[in-house]
Amino acid sequence: MTPPALQAHLAAELQRIRDADLYRVRRVIDGGHGAQIRVNGQTCINFCSNDYLGLASDPRLAEAARAALAHGTGSGASALISGYNREHQRLEETLADFLGVPRVLLFSTGWAANLGVLRGLLGRDDTIVADELNHASLIDGGRLSGARYERVPHRDAAAFGDVLSRLTPHASRLTLVVTDSVFSMDGDVAPLPELAALSARRGAALMVDDAHGFGVLGPTGRGALEACAAHADIRTGTLGKAAGAAGAFVAGDEDLIEYLVQRARSFVFSTAQPPAVAAAARRGVEILRDEPEHRQQLFDNIRRFRDGAAALDIPLGDSQTPIQPLVLGDAARALAVSQRLFEQGYWVAAIRPPTVPRGTSRLRITLTTAHRPEQIDALLEALAHAWRTD
């Protein structure tokens, strides 16, 4: 049985979360994860998925996974023991070729990739200079590394420069500038050219988490760095968003990847992803590389949504990416508007603290290639009514 002290603590904390309108509940999806889904027994249009190019339900990815499943399911061990399959190698090589980097290393999740890099590279004598709205995996990885942590105001290149100018260069110590490319709750983009120039000038390395840019931004879908013609020394990305599968990667030069193979604990001590997942991810990367029409349709949908919101005086955030936030402030209000939309057949997640700062609870609306124009227009009509009448 649960000890009484622990039971009392858990009950009190859960009640506190409920009272603050911050309680989270999972919803169950039957079948595929496309634009139209069946969730908790109700058919609805999904406007809170990161499946930006609609590849999660593309039959070609399923077929690639099915072919690999003919040889089994799990990998059986970590990559350094016996879990490194030919499918993993092929995916790493495909990603490296697509991104134009010497090497890529696969991780099971984006969280594992970011923690692996930061804990593997940094120690007590090093410094991390990080955007205050970085993803939680970057924050936790930086703190767990033991490095000095310098938190910089959001997207403030001048503030990054001020911090870097105060640091004393030391040949044996690392300074790592760390930022998301596209910020997951606001959809805005980091000032990557400025950060790259500042890092180079001050002898710091630049790490960019391109989870929401990879496959979406840039002339060929290589991500935010391609879109703004900037260079990062370390790039992480996910295969569970635009690529339609699962897993993550770190891209960089030969020495970086080889060092992470030796020292990234979340790589060394994790079972390798199932080969079938790697096969599906590789097919997803090939499709987003070879079929630019998916990105074109995505940005057509983004423009349609933003133009429609402007016409209806819906105050969206300043985002030109698939992530379109509508900040409502109060957590209870965000929940109420989200529920009203769900009752009308539109699933738009209410995002509340601690995911976003207190007082900035919001609807996080995400557009994908798979959304049809009439679905976007209908959402706008429902949204205009729901947020005004709450």
d(CA 139, CA 125): 18
CATH number at residue 344: 3.90.1150.10
Looking at the structure, tell me whether residues 77 and 217 fall in a common domain. Answer: yes
Which of these is catalytic: 75, 145, 212, 294? 212
Whole-model pTM over 0.75: yes
Domain presence at residue 259 = yes
DSSP letter (8 states) at residue 168? P
One domain, residues 101 and 201: yes
219 and 361 co-located in one domain: no
C-alpha 199, offset from chain centre: 23
**Annotation says 361 is catalytic:** no
Q: Do residue 126 and residue 237 come from a single domain?
A: yes
Residue 78 three-state SS? strand
Sheet holding 248-252, edge to edge: 103-107, 248-252, 234-238, 205-209, 175-180, 127-131, 148-152
* Structural domain of 82: 59-290
Residues 283 and 215: beta-carbon distance below 8 Å? no
What CATH number should be reported for the domain holding residue 105?
A: 3.40.640.10
Sequence ranges of the binding site: 24, 135, 184, 212, 238, 355
For residue 171, give every residue at least 6 positions away whose Cβ sits within 8 Å of its Cβ, in sequence order, or none.
none
How would you write the pLDDT of the chain (390 residues) with one tens digit per residue?
Answer: 778 899 999 999 999 999 999 999 999 989 888 899 999 888 999 999 999 999 999 999 999 999 999 999 999 999 999 999 999 999 999 999 999 999 999 999 999 999 999 999 999 999 999 999 999 999 999 999 999 999 999 999 999 999 999 997 776 699 999 999 999 999 999 999 999 999 999 999 999 999 999 999 999 999 999 999 999 999 999 999 999 999 999 999 999 999 999 999 999 999 999 999 999 999 999 999 999 999 999 999 999 999 999 999 999 989 999 999 999 999 999 999 999 999 999 999 999 999 999 999 999 999 999 999 999 999 999 999 888 876
Rounded CA-CA distance 198/162 in Å is 10
Do 200 and 213 belong to one domain? yes
- What is the number of alpha carbons within 13 Å of residue 7 lying toward its C-beta? 4
In this prediction, residue 171 carries a pLDDT of: 62
CA proximity to 207, closest of 129, 320, 317: 129
User: Among residues 88, 241, 294, 371, which one is catalytic?
Assistant: 241
- Residue 311 Cα to chain centre, angstroms: 30
Q: Contact, 298 vs 260, CB < 8 A? A: no
Q: What span, in angstroms and rounded, lies between the C-alpha atoms of 179 and 209? A: 6
Same domain, yes or no, for 91 and 211?
A: yes
Binding residues for substrate: 24, 135, 355
- Which segments of the chain does DSSP mark as H helices, in order? 4-19, 59-69, 86-99, 110-121, 136-145, 157-166, 192-202, 224-227, 254-263, 265-268, 275-290, 293-311, 331-343, 373-389
3-state secondary structure of 384: helix
As a whole number of angstroms, the distance between CA 136 and CA 139 comes to 5
Domain identity same for 180 and 46: no
Are residues 34 and 73 located together in one domain of the fold?
no
Question: Choosing from 184, 270, 319, 338, which is the catalytic residue?
Answer: 184
Last residue of a domain, one of 290, 324, 339: 290
184 is catalytic: yes
Q: How many domains does the chain have?
A: 2
β-pair partners for 209:
180, 236
| Last-in-domain residue among 249, 264, 290 | 290
Please report, in range form, the residues annotated as the binding site for pyridoxal 5'-phosphate. Answer: 184, 212, 238
71 is catalytic: no
Whether residue 313 sits in one domain with residue 279:
no
- Asked if 34 and 141 sit in the same domain, the reply is no
Is residue 2 one of the residues assigned to a domain? no
Residue that is last in its domain, among 266, 290, 314:
290
Whether 254 and 343 map to the same domain: the answer is no
Beta-ladder partners of 311: none
Query: Are 79 and 144 found together in one domain?
Result: yes
